[in-house]
Amino acid sequence: MLSFVRGEVKALSAWGDGVLLTPGAKAPDTEMVGLADGKPEHLSDFADRIIVLEFWATWCGLCQPKVAELQTYSEKNPGWKDKVVLIAASVDDNQAVPSKHLKAKGWVQTHNVWVGAEAKKAFHLNGIPTAYIIDRQGKIVAANPEALPKVVNQCLEARQALSRTP
């Protein structure tokens, strides 16, 4: 005899629909929690900077090399200083787990935050890792770009070209 039991799948119920935000869309200004100090933050706190927003989790095997690589971008791209913020946004169930993981790995070159269900839904996540590049005006430039540094550099070049326009 076969019987079915209805239940909620916890992992999927808190996530978005998987239709990632498209270029030109306004990035949601959802609340994040800074892992260094536990204080609430928003993407708007980083206005006038290009944002690389990488969603990840400690339990995600594919996320580990992505977050490790994210740690190297500032050193490899010194022109990004004060113009680009690299945000590693953990989607773990609580803040303590990613804090310990980041510390153990020595991953301190990124701005590390924790996000809850609101952000997962607002950014339409259905899997991780998921990366967004957001311009200075808070608009999505790209989702999961293959050549992330190249896209960021294009954003910086566009910014410089605008500042040279009379």
Domains and CATH numbers, the chain: 11-164 (3.40.30.10)
- For the whole model, what pTM was predicted? 0.87
Q: Where are the beta strands (DSSP E) in 35-118?
A: 40-42, 50-56, 84-90, 111-114
Quickly state the pLDDT bin for 5 (edges 50, 70, 90): very low
| Mean model confidence pLDDT for the chain | 89
The tens digit of pLDDT for each residue in 51-107 reads: 999 999 999 999 999 999 999 999 999 999 999 999 999 999 999 999 999 999 999
HSE at residue 151, side-chain half, CA atoms within 13 A, is: 18
Quickly state the pLDDT bin for 158 (edges 50, 70, 90): confident
Q: Which two tokens stand for residue 42?
A: 């928003």
H or E stretch including 19?
A: none
